[in-house]
């Protein structure tokens, strides 16, 4: 190493302190209170991640006598159009009720009716799995629980590189996003739980941070795993949601499950039992949008219930937004529009490949939450697989002994850092550059797709990769960590274009709709498109892997 840096020792290092990371930290301390558990969190763990405050439901809970893990696997396979590994999704569903009861023991509120039964909603193709939650302080509860157990949380720290000892993970390099200080963590195991690539496409309102998921999620976990040699998949699953116009906040299930009406631009009533964002997007594209929600027929009691969830449990900013738009739930209607395109494991199928033990293809490296490929796992997947990752990472740490830091890996990153800091006089600000990168992602990677568009995306990302090093200005630490975020966005886009080009069919309509291959082709493409790193960052290797069934 060129100079002395802060050195932190850990048995388990968790990168990302959102729902999955916080739960992993708690569980790691529960299974072995004596081990050292460290969290690198880019923001502040108390309010970080996609669940920055609270949540109105656990989307996937196999409640006894209501549903089963087996039925969930069958249901989710339908939702995933067959591209789903069954064992890891079964593990998540099988443990979901136990995790819900654990949260309840921590005073997380799951309302019950007069029969002492939970409200379990139907939002999946088969069965009822979505349990209503009313907990505006969920994230605070998780972070305080981790602190009480002695977890060391290093806030405002972005993990910029994983370290390896031969083939095994040996820790990570973290960088303080305010001071630029480097921190080296020597760790026996690492759990990646730093979200998906939420900051990917550009929202229609042009705001860099006005995205649906947590804007600090810039594909860091994907790119850390990729550089370390892990397998990734599902990068062709380019998500676009259909939610509240201009704020990208949830509204659909909160209102429809409580009796709201869903209308298109012609006043035609839409499906109520199982609202489908994909069908809404297709209807919007056909010129029948925007689709709207009306609540003027609901009772005052029901409207107040919706407002309470939306303005407290979900996010307080919603109240200010709707007031500013003169949206009166008792009189008017709420417009919904397509979001920007993004990549995510929780809402989609993108992520680091893991087995039912949350293990990646790299020894000592685990993944959970939106970073991991637990298809459409949502909050339940984050909490359950966070626990699973902690259990197996703790076991690995106990059985496999110490690791050493490869000082050349640290020195190589320091050389990169020096080159970035030498870009003080370049002409283009990092904000301008990010805007253009993400505008091109929206132009060429947002569905519908075709080979020409995907080739243009690859051309642009190759150009952006070069311009990031030659044209972009890095004046201070703020610019510096944004530089690494944009680098990850570009890499995520490259992998997205390559995977999308490889899958020569249309699947998950409209999210991977290829106008040059408009039909689904199960015979050739009912399998994973797997990406790994070749000789360089831009050398993305492509392979195909079969869907894993139960008992395989």
Taking only the tens place, the pLDDT of each residue in 227-274 is: 999 999 999 999 999 889 988 788 888 898 889 999 999 998 866 555
Question: What is the average pLDDT across 475-483?
Answer: 97
Q: 23-66, pLDDT tens digit by residue?
A: 999 999 999 999 999 999 999 999 999 888 888 899 999 999 99
Distance between CA atoms of residues 477 and 444, nearest Å = 31
Evaluate if residue 427 carries a pLDDT over 70: yes
pLDDT at 205: 83
Residue found by looking up tokens 């949260």 in the block: 103
| Same domain membership, residue 298 and residue 351 | no
| Same domain membership, residue 480 and residue 427 | yes
Q: Which of 407, 426, 459 is the last residue of a domain?
A: 407
**Tokens representing residue 486 in the block:** 């944009």
Pairing verdict, β 130-135 and 120-121: antiparallel
SS3 512: strand
Specify if 200 maps to a domain: no
| Same domain membership, residue 246 and residue 359 | no
| Same domain membership, residue 175 and residue 114 | yes
| Same domain membership, residue 467 and residue 367 | no
CATH number at residue 456: 1.20.58.100
| Same domain membership, residue 269 and residue 136 | no
pLDDT at 436: 98
Cα–Cα separations (whole angstroms), residue 283 to 169, 268, 351, 510 = 47, 11, 29, 11
The domain containing residue 519 runs over which residues?
408-545
Residue 544 CB coordination number (10 Å): 13
Q: 219-228, pLDDT tens digit by residue?
A: 999 999 999 9
| Same domain membership, residue 255 and residue 106 | no
pLDDT band at 153 (very low <50, low <70, confident <90, very high): very high
Specify if 189 maps to a domain: yes
| Same domain membership, residue 128 and residue 28 | yes
Q: Which of 338, 361, 386 is the last residue of a domain?
A: 338
Q: 327-380, pLDDT tens digit by residue?
A: 999 998 999 999 999 999 999 999 999 999 999 999 999 999 999 999 999 999
Specify if 414 maps to a domain: yes
Average pLDDT score over the chain: 94
| Same domain membership, residue 373 and residue 270 | no
| Same domain membership, residue 68 and residue 187 | yes
Specify if 213 maps to a domain: no
Distance between CA atoms of residues 309 and 323, nearest Å = 16
Specify if 288 maps to a domain: yes
Q: In what order do the strands lie in the sheet with 232-233?
A: 351-352, 232-233, 528-533, 540-545
pLDDT at 271: 61
Q: Which of 338, 369, 395 is the last residue of a domain?
A: 338
Closest CA to 11 of 27, 26, 32: 32
Closest CA to 158 of 412, 478, 379: 478
| Same domain membership, residue 173 and residue 38 | yes
| Same domain membership, residue 59 and residue 35 | yes
Please tell me the pTM assigned to this model.
Answer: 0.96
Comparing 291 with 270, the larger pLDDT belongs to 291
Q: 175-191, pLDDT tens digit by residue?
A: 999 999 999 999 999 99
């Amino acid at each position: 190493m060129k100079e002395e840096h802060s050195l932190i020792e850990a048995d388990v290092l968790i990168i990302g302190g959102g729902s999955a990371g916080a739960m992993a930290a708690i569980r790691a301390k529960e299974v072995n209170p004596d081990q050292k558990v460290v969290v690198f969190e880019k923001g502040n763990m108390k309010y970080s991640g996609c669940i920055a405050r609270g949540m109105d439901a656990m989307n996937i809970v196999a409640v006894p006598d209501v549903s089963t893990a087996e039925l969930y696997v069958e249901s989710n396979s339908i939702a995933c159009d067959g591209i789903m590994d069954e064992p890891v999704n079964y593990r998540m569903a099988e443990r979901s009720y136990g995790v819900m009861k654990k949260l309840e023991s921590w005073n997380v509120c799951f309302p019950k009716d007069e029969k002492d039964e939970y409200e379990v909603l139907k939002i999946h193709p088969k069965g009822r799995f979505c349990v209503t939650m009313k907990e505006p302080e969920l994230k605070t509860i998780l972070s305080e629980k981790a602190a009480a157990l002695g977890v060391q949380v290093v806030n405002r720290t972005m993990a910029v590189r994983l370290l390896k000892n031969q083939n095994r993970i040996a820790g990570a390099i973290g960088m303080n996003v305010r001071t630029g200080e480097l921190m080296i963590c020597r760790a026996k195991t690492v759990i990646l739980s730093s979200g998906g690539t939420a900051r990917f496409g550009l929202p229609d309102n042009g705001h860099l941070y006005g995205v649906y998921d947590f804007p600090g999620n810039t594909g860091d976990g994907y790119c850390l795993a990729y550089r370390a040699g892990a397998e990734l998949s599902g990068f062709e699953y380019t998500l676009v949601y259909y939610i509240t116009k201009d704020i990208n906040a949830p509204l659909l299930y909160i209102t429809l499950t409580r009796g709201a009406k869903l209308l298109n631009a012609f006043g035609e009533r839409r499906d109520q039992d199982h609202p489908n964002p994909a069908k809404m997007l297709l209807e919007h594209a056909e010129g029948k949008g925007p689709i709207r929600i009306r609540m003027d027929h609901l009772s005052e009691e029901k409207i107040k219930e919706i407002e309470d969830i939306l303005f407290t449990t979900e996010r307080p900013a919603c109240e200010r937004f709707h007031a500013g738009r003169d949206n009166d739930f008792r009189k008017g209607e709420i417009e919904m529009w397509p979001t920007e395109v993004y990549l995510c494991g929780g809402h989609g199928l993108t992520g680091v490949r893991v087995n039912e033990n949350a293990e990646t293809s790299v020894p000592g490296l685990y993944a959970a939450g939106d970073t991991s490929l637990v298809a459409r796992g949502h909050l339940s997947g984050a909490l359950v697989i966070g626990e699973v990752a902690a259990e197996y990472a703790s076991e690995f740490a106990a059985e496999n002994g110490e690791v050493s830091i490869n000082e050349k890996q640290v020195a190589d990153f320091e050389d990169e850092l020096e080159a970035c800091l030498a870009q003080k006089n370049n002409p283009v600000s990092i904000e301008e550059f990010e805007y253009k990168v993400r505008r091109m992602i929206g132009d060429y990677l947002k569905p519908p797709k075709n080979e020409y568009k995907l080739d243009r995306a690859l051309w642009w990302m190759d150009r952006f990769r070069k311009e990031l090093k030659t044209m972009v200005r890095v004046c201070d630490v703020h610019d510096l960590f944004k530089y690494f975020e944009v680098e990850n966005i570009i890499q995520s886009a490259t992998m997205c274009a390559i995977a999308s080009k490889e899958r020569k069919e249309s699947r998950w309509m409209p999210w991977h709709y290829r106008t040059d291959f408009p039909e689904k082709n199960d015979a050739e493409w009912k399998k994973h498109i797997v990406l790994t790193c070749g000789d360089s960052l831009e050398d993305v290797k492509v392979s195909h892997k079969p869907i894993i069934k139960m008992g395989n």
